[in-house]
Amino acid sequence: MKTVITAIAFILTVTINAQDFTGKAIYKTSKKSTIKLGGEKEGISDKMQEEFQKRIQKMNQKTFILEFDKSSSIYKQEAEDLKSPTPQVGNNLKIISLGGSGSDDTYYKNIKENRFANKTEIMGKAFLIQDTLPKQNWELTSETKNIGVYTCYKATFSKEVENTSISIKDGETIEDKKKEVITTTAWWTPQVPVSNGPDDYQGLPGLILEINDGKKLIVCTEIVLNPTDKISLEEPTKGEIVSQEKFNQIQKEKNDELMEKMKSRNGIDLGNGINIKMGG
The stretch 88-97 carries a mean pLDDT of 47
Q: What is the pLDDT of residues 220-260, one digit of tens each?
A: 999 999 998 889 899 999 999 999 999 999 998 988 787 77
- What predicted TM-score, i.e. pTM, was given to this entire model? 0.76
**Residues, the chain:** 280
Element spanning 50, H or E: helix 46-59
- Looking at per-residue pLDDT, the higher value among 167 and 184 belongs to 184
| Angle, CA of 66, 67 and 70, to the nearest 5° | 115
| Lowest-pLDDT choice from 41-50, 82-91, 131-140 | 82-91
How far are the Cα atoms of 52, 94, 104, 108, 257 from residue 88, in angstroms, in the given order? Answer: 8, 4, 23, 32, 21
Closest by alpha carbon to 130, among 234, 236, 244? 244
| Angle, CA of 7, 138 and 4, to the nearest 5° | 20
Instruction: Identify the structural domains of the chain with CATH numbers, from first to last.
Output: 2-31+46-151+181-243 (2.50.20)
